[in-house]
Structure 1
């Protein structure tokens, strides 16, 4: 073999596309892990973190929507083992599939928040009091839309996960306070995220989800009082 001759890793355009996609996934995992470290150290503003994290999660999902890439990828743990990477923070973020600012807004960094002060110089608590009527209406509508989807037997991951993700984001825009059932929303988001796109909830799971989301809706409404 000529040592100066370039060695091609792929012989076809399809193979090149596959390796490019796998390389991009590798890059996303490494970048996401670094982003999580920066967020934990309070080295990045929350708004910027949320935007970048959301974009990386979408890019990760987009790459894996290709059946050939998904088949070669297998799953996250297999991929990490094959390429000898750890990235525990990125692993957790990909498991949740939501930025930390959305999954747990109560842990916002004080240095990156900008609360308004009252005339006495004290800052009011962040929560429902600062939410607009339109934000409250949107969160309420998203709860109703999600519950209606369940009643219509829309039980696949690709039907429910986007609705539930939109629901928690609209709820977070209203309040960062914990309320009864909020943890269940996050738990179901993680559970749905672990399913295949076309995989559907069983009858028992659907009834459990309906019960817990109705409870979360009641808990959310109590924060408005």
Structure 2
């Protein structure tokens, strides 16, 4: 007696190593988005400390930017990718679009150690100088500017005495978000460089005014 059960045939998702790599890269993008959503929700619910959250989130953002370079042809629109694969991850989308952890976007420093405060001030000044010098040396590619600007935002957030509404931070955050939405190989136009330098120097001067008033 022959079985009436249907014969299940193996379905191959890929026919070559190149296709296999494409699927693996898209799976990696999917996993990063899900992991970021879980981390954001865990932080909001206070299930993960700020000390653990910030480096973990920064790592996921860096991985996201790296994987985007690999899937750019297959995933030109990440929001459509999320919709196609039923990824309901609004917190992850906001965080990955912003390009910085929420602890950098909104100052949440709890460490008021005076010795560390002096260290963070020194780091902030150095990051301002490094970024301004880099732009003046014609280093205008996103992958040259973004890491330094990200470090600057982090060091600003580490200065616990800095006012939440510090005038320079909002403008620099806007630049960081804009850079995060560009490709690593993109370069700023001459007008963009001029405006970024203007905003940096204004923020730098405002930071010095803050330091002189605090001393």
Would you say same fold, with TM above 0.5? yes
The answer to whether the 8 A contact 1:93-1:100 is kept is yes
Residue 177 of structure 1: CA displacement? 2.8
**Which 4+ runs in 1 deviate beyond 3 A?**
129-134
Matches within 5 A, 1:202-217: 202-217=189-204
Paired position in structure 2 for 1:12: 16
> What is the aligned counterpart of 1:22 among 15, 19, 26?
26
CA contact under 8 A between 1:180 and 1:215: conserved in structure 2? no
Note closer, same or farther for the CA distance 1:3–1:74 as it changes in structure 2 (3 Å cut): farther
Q: Distance between the aligned counterparts of 2:136 and 2:61, measured in 1? A: 29
Of 130, 136, 151, the match for 2:136: 151
- Check conservation: 1:39, 1:49, Cα contact below 8 A: yes
Choose which of 117, 120, 144 in structure 2 pairs with 1:135.
120
In the alignment, what sits opposite 1:101?
103
- Would you say 1:59 and 2:46 are equivalent positions? no
How far is the alpha carbon of 1:130 from its aligned partner?
A: 5.6
Residues 131 and 173 in structure 1, CA contact (< 8 A), matched pair in contact too: no
1:168 corresponding residue in structure 2: 153
CA distance in 1, matches of 2:148, 2:19: 35
* Alignment counterpart, residue 177 of structure 1, candidates 156, 163, 167: 163
- In terms of mean alpha carbon deviation, does 55-64 or 179-188 score higher? 55-64
Q: Does 1:39 align with 2:39?
A: no
Secondary structure in structure 2 of the residue aligned to 1:7:
coil
Aligned equivalents of 2:210, 2:36: Cα separation in 1: 33
Cα distance in 2 for partners of 1:171, 1:3 equals 63
Indicate the RMSD between aligned Cα atoms, in angstroms: 1.9
Cα distance, 1:180 vs structure 2? 1.7
Task: Evaluate the alpha carbon distance shift between residue 224 and residue 3 of structure 1 in structure 2; reply closer, same or farther with a 3 A threshold.
Answer: farther
Offset from partner CA, 1:176-221 (integer Å, 9 cap, x none): 5332211111110001111122222222221111111111111222
Equivalent-residue separation in structure 1 for 2:184 and 2:136 (angstroms): 20
Distance in structure 1 (CA, Å) of the matches to 2:134 and 2:190: 14
> How many matched pairs?
205
Unmatched tracts of structure 1, length 5 or more: 116-125
Identify which range, 55-64 or 182-191, moves more after superposition. Answer: 55-64
Aligned partner of 1:123 in structure 2 is none
